[in-house]
Structure 1
């Protein structure tokens, strides 16, 4: 199986899992409530004043304005290092994550948790936009690092840190009581599905000549 075929299957798998969550939320399936209660209990169990300050800082780092600024910075850095094709990839992932998330929220219209919110947050709950967008943006960056970077220790360290940051952002949304755990899980699967699908498309189009031998690594 080629990398493109694996990515296509990964995209399909992630979208299918997301659809399971979407349907479960729409029909109020028992497994949705079970997951949500378990996740909320976990967040409550680790609640302390210092942890609250950390979670607030993390969740604010993924606010739309901040994510836009981070995405623009990443794209500029990639373009300035002659990796403009990857810049397009990251930018496309960010746009897909935001627009599709907004459309789904307007369709599902799930109300946010009734627990006291630790931050001001309007709009609908499903799926988590912070989780979806952070997975799409940082997931695209992870894919870039995995494919283009040769230094193993640097690549491994960066990928682990980015993965932990994605998880922390999602958990922070549960911790501050503005999302259900299933909102976050669905957002992650949706965001990674976008990355995998975009990879399949990009590998056949604008990234076609940018991947391969060493001579193409900086194309």
Structure 2
């Protein structure tokens, strides 16, 4: 019950954003339009900056790149025999991707149409897949690897994750392929997915007699910092 209640509370902001987008709430529409037009005008005047944004958006923070990083992480967890943590990472990444596609198909929001566009993107607009994948992928990588990060370096690790999440959202709006509300919607939906799967993982730890770690400081499974068990040679 607690897991469902917390997940619902986290999902409530996304539900509100969805309602405002679907109803074309005038203040939100004006914000989206003003941001899109302002950033588009800036992009037209700085082609070099546009090239940097395209590299960041299409390669560094591209959903395929982020999912490949998570896939490598899952394979590493399997070599460590961290079966349930690998399952959590996989479910969070795949579940987030499928949820995003489903919501896009239901909402069917059109992308911005700007004069002299500097970039193009297929499909519907809300929520931003780049923004959602950036948040879920960074969360998975950080919450898994945090036990291996020295305490002094954990704040910089969080800062790097936040910069990546915010950065990918900025690139999508600056390139004119998403509205601001698309990006915020992607962040909120991604946060809801990560929260739900994390609470389920923590509940499993509690059921098996393991303590609940302080996730933001210790990661999901602090025991990951101990060496992996050697394979048995018994016959």
Normalising to structure 1: TM-score of the pair? 0.84
- 2:20 maps to what in 1? 24
1:108 aligns with 2:107: yes
**How far, CA to CA, are the matches of 1:43 and 1:77 in structure 2?**
40
Cα distance, 1:57 vs structure 2:
1.2
- 2:232 maps to what in 1? none
Q: Could you give the per-residue CA deviations for residues 36-66 of structure 1, whole angstroms, max 9, x where no partner exists?
A: 1343255347532332122111111333432
Going from structure 1 to structure 2, the CA distance change for 1:79 and 1:13 (only over 3 Å counts) comes to same
Q: Could you give the per-residue CA deviations for residues 81-100 of structure 1, whole angstroms, max 9, x where no partner exists?
A: 44443222222111111101
- 2:180 maps to what in 1? 181
- Note if contact 1:210-1:217 (Cα within 8 Å) is conserved in structure 2: no
**How far, CA to CA, are the matches of 1:92 and 1:162 in structure 2?**
20
- Note if contact 1:128-1:183 (Cα within 8 Å) is conserved in structure 2: yes
User: Max radius of gyration: which structure?
Assistant: 2
Q: Could you give the per-residue CA deviations for residues 159-203 of structure 1, whole angstroms, max 9, x where no partner exists?
A: 111110111111111111110000000000100111011111112
- Note if contact 2:111-2:179 (Cα within 8 Å) is conserved in structure 1: yes
**How far, CA to CA, are the matches of 2:206 and 2:75 in structure 1?**
17
**How far, CA to CA, are the matches of 1:24 and 1:65 in structure 2?**
30
1:217 aligns with 2:235: no
Gaps of 5+ in 1: none
**How far, CA to CA, are the matches of 2:15 and 2:85 in structure 1?**
29
**How far, CA to CA, are the matches of 2:8 and 2:24 in structure 1?**
24
Q: What is the Cα-based RMSD across aligned positions, in Å? A: 2.9
**How far, CA to CA, are the matches of 1:68 and 1:25 in structure 2?**
28
- Note if contact 1:127-1:186 (Cα within 8 Å) is conserved in structure 2: yes
Gaps of 5+ in 2: 229-235
Going from structure 1 to structure 2, the CA distance change for 1:208 and 1:91 (only over 3 Å counts) comes to farther
- 1:131 maps to what in 2? 131
- 1:143 maps to what in 2? 143
**How far, CA to CA, are the matches of 1:86 and 1:17 in structure 2?**
28
Going from structure 1 to structure 2, the CA distance change for 1:207 and 1:38 (only over 3 Å counts) comes to farther
Match of residue 50, structure 1, among 48, 51, 54: 48
Q: What SS does the aligned partner of 1:205 have?
A: helix
**How far, CA to CA, are the matches of 1:98 and 1:63 in structure 2?**
13
Going from structure 1 to structure 2, the CA distance change for 1:106 and 1:50 (only over 3 Å counts) comes to same
Q: Could you give the per-residue CA deviations for residues 75-122 of structure 1, whole angstroms, max 9, x where no partner exists?
A: 123333444432222221111111011111111100000014433311
Cα distance, 1:71 vs structure 2:
1.8
